[in-house]
Every structure is written in structure tokens, then in C-alpha cells.
Amino acid sequence: MARKVIVEADGGSRGNPGPAGYGALVRDALTGEVLAEVAEAIGHATNNVAEYRGLIAGLRAAAELDPSADIEVRMDSKLVVEQMSGRWKIKHPDMVPLADEARTLASSLGAVAYTWVPRDRNAHADRLANQAMDAAARGEKWRREEIPEHKPEPPFRTGEEPQDPQGSAHSQAWSTAKGAPTTTLLLRHGETPLSAERRFAGIGDFPLTDNGRAQARAAARALKSRALDAVITSPLSRCRDTAAEVAAATGAEVHVEDGFRETDFGEWEGLTFAEARRRWPAEVTAWLADPSVPPPGGESFTSVERRVRMALDTLKQRHRRQTVLVVSHVTPIKLLVREALGAPLSSLYRMNLDVASLSLIDWYDDGPASLRSFNDTHHLL
């Protein structure tokens, strides 16, 4: 699986044209950690030239970190985003060689997609660009570059990536997906008294333990710098309280979606698996063998799948090509992973999902989905 990073870039001038500069940074797509920063005063130039220079610097920094990574470029310049996406023609002669340079850089990387964001969501790159413009206005030659000397290993990679027939190690070449995806970060709620004892916890409203709240805060810290467009949560309090910690850290707005609630485990609620098997041996055996079989008085995985899929469809319509955190439970998260992989429903029985773990899926408009990470708990260490 290819690593995914986010490039945030900006540029501007005081006067257009005038003293100009750019700023760019590279983030880890899952954790939001800033991996590299670069900014430069470029003398006298226009806003558009500075914006393109910022894009080029951001792509170059990403290439130095991991040339096989998939990249989402986020800029508040509608012009650059639309031109690099191929939807607008490049008419100004000064832009043509800069766009060509950016395309050449992008062609040597993994999949590169361009997303327009409002200026307030590009504040870090904007701040770097303003520092560069200040230096240009003072007539200084100024450059800032912070890129680790040793390239960090991409997280969530297990072994060598497959080689395509042309010898590229970039796994996205195996996919037909086009355009920027809708990205879902999937966060299981923190620990509850029942999860600590590995008991069935369905639609009952069980609170977080003190440890569960600490886990929620740890997840919030890991996501603090992540540019989230929204946080969507199950209506159950263990998820809403986990989501509240992330919202407080990121400023993202929280929305409740009933479709992402946990399975109703009926008579098994509050029991361990062993206790349920002792009382309902035939029913447990049937439940394990067939996802359409519900627990006594409860809900089957087939039924849960229908409402989770409807909730996913709503999310993709309302937040198309945005990044959304979904705070949910074991079953809905596993169902989203199953949907992304095109796996059978029986695969739910073969996945392990820890409390407060993070997973990441990209959903593309033309159908394909890509599971980027699963059950990551590094933020809890």
C-alpha cells in the first residue's frame, strides 16, 4: 500500500506584482504530522507565479521524503488547482513553464490529486508565504527549508510493494481510480467497562472509562493538525464523547449519524462470548456461520450493512472529496473496510479492531476504494 501525504502550498505578492514569496509543507495524511516545511522570498513577482512556485516546492519536498507516495495537494488558489487538474487552460505565458515543471515533478511521484480549500484551512502555508513576502519586502534573500536528512519510513507498509509490469513500485498504478478521493478516517471509540472485559456492547449507552477518555484525548492529539472537514459520530455516548475530544482539538464540527451506531446484540448484550455460547450454543454457531443470522432479539450483520452503506452514501454526497473523521464501533468500521475491499461479509469475523484505533479509506468518485491503513494504535503507545 502506498503511503499518502498532503502538500499544503501558498504564495503571494505585495502589490501583484510586488515583493513575493511562497510557503509549502508536507503532512502525513493519517496523523497530520508536519514532515517538511519550505518557504522562500522570490523577489518581484505576481501572486500566480508565487503560488506555482509554492506548489513546485511542496511537490519537491514530498519527492525528497518519499517519491512513491500518493499526494493530495491542497491550495486556496482556485486557478492553480483547476489548471493542474486539467479543467482550465493555461493562458498566461509566464504560467506555462511553471505548470510544466509541476507536472514533470508530479509524474515522477505516485498519484497526485489537487483540492481547493478555503484560505482559513491553508493557514500554515499562508503563514510561511507571508514570512517570505515580508523578507522580500525588506529586500532580503531568504529561504527556509526543514526536511529530515533521513527519509522516514512510510507507516502502515507491510513488506515490499508489488512491481507493476513497467517496474514501478507504486501500487496506485494497479487502480483505475481518478480524481481526488473522499477520505474517511475511522476511529473506534475509547475503552468502556464492557470492552475492557471483552463483552458484547451494542446499542446500550455505555460510558467511557477513565482510560477510554485518555485514549480519546490521545487520538485527538494525533489528529490535532489534521485538516478535517467534519467529524461524524454514532449517537451513542461512548462515540460522542470520543468525537468531542477530537472536535475540541481540531475545531471540526460534529454531526451525529444514526447509521453508524453499533449492532443490536439483543440477548447477548453485556455477555462475554463464552457466556453467550454456554447459553445459546446453537444460535452462536449459526451466527458465526451466516452474517444474515441475528443474535436472539438482535440485529444481523446483513441488516447493519444496509444502514451503514446508506450512511456512507450520505457522507460521500455531503462531503465529496473532503476529509471526514467517522467515530464509530467495531461492526460499522469493519463493514466500511469490507466495502472498500469488496470482501465477503464473512470477512468481519476475521478482522481485529482495537479500541481507539484509526483506519483510513479513500473513496473515489468512479467506484474504486483504497484501504490505506487499518487498526493503527501508534498514538496510544
Q: What pLDDT does residue 161 have?
A: 35
Q: What is the pLDDT of residues 257-277, one digit of tens each?
A: 999 999 999 999 999 999 999
Convert 109-132 to b/e letters by CB count within 10 Å (16 or more is b): bbbbbbbbbeeebbebbbebbbbb
Q: What is the pLDDT of residues 94-103, one digit of tens each?
A: 889 999 999 9
For the question of residue 262 being annotated catalytic, the response is yes
pLDDT at 114 > cutoff 90: yes
Task: Give the Cα separation of 221 and 216 in Å (integer).
Answer: 9
Q: What pLDDT does residue 168 have?
A: 32
The percent of residues above 70 in pLDDT, for the chain, comes to 91
Residues 104 and 63: beta-carbon distance below 8 Å: no
Amino acid letter, 132:
A
Could you tell me which residues come within 8 angstroms of residue 316 by beta carbon, excluding any fewer than 6 positions away? Answer: 182, 363
Q: What pLDDT does residue 173 have?
A: 40
Q: What is the pLDDT of residues 280-339, one digit of tens each?
A: 999 999 999 999 999 999 999 999 999 998 999 899 989 999 999 999 999 999 999 999
pLDDT at 162 > cutoff 60: no
Q: What pLDDT does residue 58 have?
A: 96
Q: What pLDDT does residue 68 have?
A: 85
Per mean pLDDT, which range of 51-60, 76-85, 112-121 is the poorest?
A: 112-121
Q: What pLDDT does residue 170 have?
A: 35
Show the cell assigned to 308.
Answer: 451503514
Confidence of residue 2 (pLDDT cuts 50, 70, 90): low
For the question of residue 329 being annotated catalytic, the response is no
Q: For the whole model, what pTM was predicted?
A: 0.58
Show the cell assigned to 202.
Answer: 451494542
Residues 356 and 191: beta-carbon distance below 8 Å: yes
User: Average pLDDT of the chain?
Assistant: 88
Q: What pLDDT does residue 365 have?
A: 80
Q: What pLDDT does residue 108 have?
A: 85
Task: Give the Cα separation of 381 and 186 in Å (integer).
Answer: 19
Q: Average pLDDT of 350-364? A: 94
Q: What is the pLDDT of residues 28-46, one digit of tens each?
A: 887 778 899 999 999 999 9
Confidence of residue 175 (pLDDT cuts 50, 70, 90): low
User: At 21, which helix (H) or strand (E)?
Assistant: strand 18-28
Task: Give the Cα separation of 90 and 86 in Å (integer).
Answer: 9
Confidence of residue 178 (pLDDT cuts 50, 70, 90): low
Q: What pLDDT does residue 171 have?
A: 40
Task: Give the Cα separation of 151 and 35 in Å (integer).
Answer: 10
Q: List the catalytic residue out of 170, 189, 329, 379.
A: 189
The percent of residues above 90 in pLDDT, for the chain, comes to 69
DSSP state of 119: G
Q: Average pLDDT of 50-70? A: 93
Q: What pLDDT does residue 46 have?
A: 94
Residues 50 and 153: beta-carbon distance below 8 Å: no
Q: What pLDDT does residue 53 have?
A: 96
Task: Give the Cα separation of 331 and 274 in Å (integer).
Answer: 19
Q: List the catalytic residue out of 8, 245, 262, 283.
A: 262
Count of beta carbons in the 10 Å neighbourhood of residue 171: 18
DSSP state of 380: G
Concatenating the DSSP letter of every residue in 257-317 gives -GGGSPP--GGGTT-BHHHHHHH-HHHHHHHHH-TTPPPTTS--HHHHHHHHHHHHHHHHH
Task: Give the Cα separation of 28 and 311 in Å (integer).
Answer: 27
Amino acid letter, 19:
P
Per mean pLDDT, which range of 51-60, 168-177, 194-203, 359-368 is the poorest?
A: 168-177
Task: Give the Cα separation of 280 and 265 in Å (integer).
Answer: 13
DSSP state of 368: -
Residue positions counted in the chain: 381
Q: What pLDDT does residue 155 have?
A: 39
Convert 190-227 to b/e letters by CB count within 10 Å (16 or more is b): bbbebbeeebbbbbeebebbeebbbbbbbbbebbbebb
Query: Of the ranges 204-218, 337-351, 359-373, which is most confident?
Result: 204-218
Confidence of residue 176 (pLDDT cuts 50, 70, 90): low
Amino acid letter, 70:
D
